[in-house]
Chains A and B, each alone.
Chain A
Amino acid sequence: MRKIRLIARLDIKGANLIKGIHLEGLRVIGSPNEHALRYYQQGADELIYMDCVASLYGRNSLGDIVQGAAQNVFVPMTVGGGIRSVEDATHLLRSGADKVAVNTAAVANPRLITDIARRFGSQCMVLSIEAKQIGPDRWEVYTDNGRERTGLDVIDWVKRGVALGVGEILLTSVDREGTRKGFDIPLIRAVTQEVSVPVIASGGMGKPEDMIEAVQQGGVDAVAMADILHYSRATVGNIRRAAQAAGIEVRSYEQD
């Protein structure tokens, strides 16, 4: 059985690690790489860096931050926010990223998914989806950090993305993000039932039990955690032990 991955998610604005609620009302938490190193040392299986205002202002400052992280973090890193071209992806992969996550530019130009997957392999191409519920069992794709509607249905977009070459899906619930109310299980289940590529649940993790629910009821391959780690409400080690106690297979980590 595949090991469930515990991923620390770092949302970045400029040079700062930030955190919002529903992706808005951003508060500065501190230095991204100090937190990254701490989560690495706690045994995070991967890191995700998201530049949350990059697509808004049409720029990307992540290259330097990732290059800094690559100096002393030795687990896979996914980087997203403002990637518009194969060249942007190349720059981030050369800076130490292992995968790139694309949202806004993929909606505007779905060919970008195929171009990145062909150039670097599907395993490099993560589709980032910001989902907002619009009806019973219906979710709409949002871009620009939960600000812009697209009219796209999440399930249709997921299927199209996989057909175009997406190797993994980062699924963020805008409704739950930053609320600590737990993951949007119906959303997660609707996506994991539809596709065979790995799905990372993001948005809403308030306590270790939420992770168990996302895995056992939602069927995800990985969970992204931000708020719960940033405010030290739990360590990656606490969450790993909760997973093991619930019979979920995770990476064994000696330093726990």
Chain B
Amino acid sequence: MSKTEVAVIDYGMGNLLSVRRGLEHCGATVVVTADPGVILSTSKVVLPGVGAFANGMAELSRLGLDAVVREVAARGVPLLGICLGMQMLLDESEEFGITAGLGLIPGRVVPIPSNTTHPQKIPHIGWNALVLPQGRENWEGALLQEIKPGEAVYFVHSYMASPSDPSHRIADCLYGDTSVSAVIERGNVFGCQFHPEKSGEVGLKVLRRFLAS
């Protein structure tokens, strides 16, 4: 059996070495690229990213990659957004004014609330446990199939995704009193707020599951 070929989209936002190595460690052949032809010819696509939402969207559209990512999703090719890459899957973000996103999962990106009963430091940095959102009983058939509720992964972010359809919300983590959306899914489109490439064996299990999707 040939190895799964994965395109990691390189639009100049963040360190791609660890994402690449994480996928390779899980058995994939990885190509880091901004070439639309290459992205559209691979069997899996990863949209990584660290930084501000508006910068990320501006870079994607400057490179003509916003349309390419939408095309990937429309063709039914498995697409995984990580951190900023996950947030850009939604309709829009409130970070530094309203910016339109890719619109692949309905909802918006909002600041992690700081005016709660138990205010937490922002950004949210560090290991936090994945939990089942209200109304979900297990992760059967989802990106987290191999993960048990309570297993921890590594987060670094100040904004969070708020999907409008609760059925797209696969896992949360609890930060103070706030349920932060940690994994979202809609058909072949997946998003992780945490960094699977920095979350030890738990993160690698998530990547392996994505490669098998």
List the interface of chain A (C-beta within 8 A of B).
Answer: 2-3, 5, 40, 43, 45, 67, 70-72, 74-76, 93-98, 121-123, 167, 196-198, 221, 251-255
Contacts and interface: CB of A to CB of B under 8 A. Distances in A.
Nearest to B118: A1
Contacts of A95: 17
Contacts, number: 73
A3 B199 CA distance: 14
Given A93-B15, A252-B150, A74 B126 contact: no
A3 B126 contact: yes
A74 B128 contact: no
B210 to A, nearest CB: 15
A86 to B, nearest CB: 15
**Secondary structure at chain B's binding surface: helix, strand, loop or mixed?**
mixed
A96 B200 contact: no
Contacts of B127: 3, 5, 45, 251
A98 B19 CA distance: 12
B150 to A, nearest CB: 6
Contacts of A121: 50-51, 123
Contacts of A196: 121
Contacts of A72: 21, 25
A215 B153 CA distance: 21
B151 interface: yes
12 contacts: A3-B126, A72-B21, A74-B18, A74-B197, A75-B154, A94-B17, A96-B17, A96-B21, A98-B198, A121-B50, A121-B51, A252-B152
Contacts of B154: 75-76
B196 to A, nearest CB: 8
Contacts of A67: 17
B199 A74 contact: yes
Contacts of B25: 72, 74
